[in-house]
């Protein structure tokens, strides 16, 4: 004789199980879809371990970092301001800075000069106006003839090309070690690098790092020595740090 009671009991149980599974699937999908995606965030320069140099979080890829920088550099309103209202004013301020560097024998008329992150080229124009004719700038967005296209994390120049390099965009570097490494690579031995940085205030929303002292810069410039540090008033940047390259990259490698 067949056990009809067991068969009858099993069928409703299976039916209820399938129904509960069916109605649970949307809830399971919602829970998994709202999991945090922290694994895709760039953790830049974690090996630096510098309390006085903080990389800002939030970039999911290098492409997203570049796009954020382009949002500022390609802004039509800003570019118009840089070329009109700010043009003469900034050239005059840069010219004063560079003239002071000439008086300190850190820059000469025969120097081959590069401005890193030059936007529309006010600093390049200032160098040319005070007699440093062989000057050029690089930026993500070119502004010919003063500024050519280039990423400061990977400069488009040969080793030991320049006698002088200037930048006031260190705070925009996502990878400060690469930023400095490219300056030292393209700078001649004996050449000078001048950085204008902010220590007393934070950069704008497009900055990729925050610097709180000169110490991290000194550590990053592995082939150079500090020439001087002084206070300046340069468009929100308050400190000038000057380095002179004293060693070649291959010499450092040989000494290890």
Condensed to tens digits (0 to 9), the pLDDT of residues 128-151 reads 999 999 999 999 999 999 999 999
Higher pLDDT pick, 222 / 49: 222
Question: In this structure, how many other beta carbons lie within 10 angstroms of the beta carbon of residue 165?
Answer: 26
Q: Which two tokens stand for residue 238?
A: 């308050």
Question: In this structure, how many other beta carbons lie within 10 angstroms of the beta carbon of residue 110?
Answer: 10
Instruction: Give the predicted TM-score (pTM) of the model.
Output: 0.80
Tally of residues, the chain: 256
- Contact by Cβ (8 Å): 192, 227: yes
Dump pLDDT digits (tens) for 177-213: 999 999 999 999 999 999 999 998 888 889 999 999 9
Question: In this structure, how many other beta carbons lie within 10 angstroms of the beta carbon of residue 98?
Answer: 25
Which residues does 226 contact at the CB level (< 8 Å), separation at least 6?
214, 218, 241, 242, 243
Question: In this structure, how many other beta carbons lie within 10 angstroms of the beta carbon of residue 87?
Answer: 15
Dump pLDDT digits (tens) for 87-104: 999 999 999 999 999 999
Any idea what DSSP says for residue 60?
S
């Amino acid at each position: 004789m067949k056990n009809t009671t067991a068969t009858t009991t099993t069928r409703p149980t299976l039916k209820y199980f399938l129904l509960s599974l069916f109605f649970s699937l949307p809830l399971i999908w919602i829970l998994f879809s709202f999991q945090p995606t922290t694994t895709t965030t760039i953790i830049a320069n974690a090996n630096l371990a510098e309390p006085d140099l903080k990389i800002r979080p939030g970039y999911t890829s290098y492409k997203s970092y570049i796009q954020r920088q382009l949002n500022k550099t390609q802004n039509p309103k800003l570019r118009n301001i840089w070329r009109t209202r700010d043009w003469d004013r900034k050239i005059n301020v840069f010219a004063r800075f560079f003239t002071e560097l000439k008086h300190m024998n850190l820059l000469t008329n025969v120097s081959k000069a590069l401005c890193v992150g030059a936007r529309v080229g006010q600093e390049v124009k200032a160098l040319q106006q005070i007699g440093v004719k062989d000057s050029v700038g690089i930026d993500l967005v070119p502004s010919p003839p003063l500024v050519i296209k280039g990423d400061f994390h990977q400069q488009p120049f040969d080793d030991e090309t320049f006698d002088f390099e200037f930048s006031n965009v260190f705070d925009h570097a996502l990878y400060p070690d690469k930023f400095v490494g490219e300056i030292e690579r393209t700078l001649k031995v004996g050449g000078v690098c001048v950085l204008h940085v902010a220590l007393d205030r934070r950069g704008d929303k497009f900055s990729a790092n925050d610097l709180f002292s000169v110490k991290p810069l000194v550590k990053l410039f592995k082939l150079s020595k500090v020439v001087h540090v002084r206070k300046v008033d340069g468009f929100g940047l308050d400190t000038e740090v000057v380095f002179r390259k004293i060693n070649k990259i291959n010499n450092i490698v040989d000494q290890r």
